Chain A
């Protein structure tokens, strides 16, 4: 289908963007990469009236290191930029690993991290990665800036903590610490499709012991789901078969996936258990040991 009739305005500066947005009213939508928004328009799932194009705002661009501990990623960084940027590859390997899982090359060339987080698709990779990495979402309105922990940013199905006339300016990630290991895995029907289920995982290793492990699932709820009980089960343990089995059992209380076109809730629980075992093998380096 074709998109519904629209008005389109393009902002040259951030302050102009807020003015245009305010003029257009609360139903207007910001257009960044447009890779989800234009698809929803084609389905006529939304009818925003006006699109405010922010994709040229240099204030929302750039990937840089802030001090010794933080990587700041401008909201308009495309998936392709994330995938090839040296700071990301060096300091945020989880993000670099997630990029090839996001759609396809032509979409990654346009789609942005800010757009992905603001759209808040529960099956998307980057929201779960941001939660797993304890990222901060930098939100801006015409007057102010505030930081929202990623774990509190996603409030429901396609819903976020952003307020009216507030946008994502950047995402701030703590740089991976020495000894930190990460993995992101998903199951999808076709390479590049939205995941039927996925997991973003992080831990530190002391010898073979998992310290402060993080397991954040996607595609199994209305937002990224932190598997608290499974995490508690493996914390301070080694990724031995009995521990992995106990964590898989604990997932039953962490996840309550709704049925969707990919399968029943039961099927999705099974996917999640399989992914958990694979992720723990990766975190503990067991797959490398086997390959060696």
Chain B
């Protein structure tokens, strides 16, 4: 048993080797150990969704995953998907619709919205709301966020913007 655990993982395509405290969760690891400040700590008990990141391609709550458990994992954050251009259209739509107000929930919202559109390319508004229901926006700008996601879904499907 040791308090510090050696891990090697891939973060946004780059190999990273670190020693981490056993209790260090993924978001603190990203922010404090790697300096990737795009993933936000909100409630830190799995409620608010501000810390949403991808592990092995699936979205997770970064605060409910221990960094120590991620040896060998592939982690993607908002920095990675921004640089790759994967969610450029979602980001543009969030800006156009003023769906990012204070911006605190935005990285989590974007990754959750991208996850929805991956699994369900043509969601209804109710399905968008359902999928985003685990992400709190404390500016309460939900309507603009749902509009932005609906607009991107429509555009990707070659339909007129609703």
Which A residues contact B (CB, under 8 angstroms)?
Answer: 1-10, 23-24, 31, 34-35, 38-39, 41-43, 50-51, 53, 55, 80, 100, 103-107, 109-110, 190-192
Contacts and interface: CB of A to CB of B under 8 A. Distances in A.
Contacts of B112: 105-106
A205 to B, nearest CB: 30
A9 B5 CA distance: 9
Given A4-B23, A7-B22, A105-B134, A34 B65 contact: yes
A41 B58 contact: no
Interface stretch (B42-50, B83-91, B92-100, B146-154): B42-50
A196 B44 CA distance: 23
Given A8-B68, A41-B23, 13 more contacts: A4-B23, A5-B22, A6-B3, A6-B23, A7-B22, A8-B69, A34-B69, A35-B61, A42-B45, A51-B22, A105-B59, A191-B129, A192-B134
A1 B45 CA distance: 8
Nearest to A109: B58
> Which residue, of B3, B68, B135, has the highest number of chain A Cβ atoms within 10 A?
B68
A38 B66 contact: yes
**Counting chain B CB atoms within 10 Å of each CB, which of A5, A43, A106, A107 scores highest?**
A106
- The 4 A-B pairs with the shortest beta carbon distances in the complex, nearest first, are A104-B134, A8-B22, A3-B23, A191-B133
Interface string B35-58: 000000000111001001000001
Contacts of A110: 60-61, 64-65
Given A106-B134, A107-B46, A38 B64 contact: yes
Interface of B: 1-3, 5, 21-23, 25, 28, 44-46, 49, 52, 58-61, 63-66, 68-69, 71, 112, 115-116, 129-131, 133-135
Given A6-B23, A110-B60, A191-B133, A34 B66 contact: yes
Nearest to B52: A106
A251 B130 CA distance: 31
B83 to A, nearest CB: 22
B25 A38 contact: yes
A106 to B, nearest CB: 5
Contacts of B21: 5
A100 B5 CA distance: 35
Nearest to B57: A109
Nearest to B56: A109
Given A8-B68, A53-B69, A104-B134, A24 B52 contact: no
A100 B131 CA distance: 10
Nearest to B132: A104
11 contacts: A34-B64, A34-B65, A38-B46, A38-B63, A39-B46, A39-B64, A42-B44, A100-B130, A104-B135, A106-B115, A109-B59
A193 B129 CA distance: 14
A3 B112 CA distance: 25
Given A41-B23, A105-B134, A107-B46, A80 B58 contact: yes
A50 B3 CA distance: 10
Contacts of B129: 191
A12 B151 CA distance: 46
Contacts of B135: 104
A79 B94 CA distance: 30
B1 A105 contact: no
Given A24-B1, A50-B1, A103-B134, A109 B60 contact: yes
Contact of A105 (B68, B71, B115): B115
A67 to B, nearest CB: 32
Contacts of A55: 69
Contacts of A43: 45
Given A104-B134, A106-B112, A7 B69 contact: no
Given A105-B131, A106-B59, A109-B59, A35 B64 contact: yes
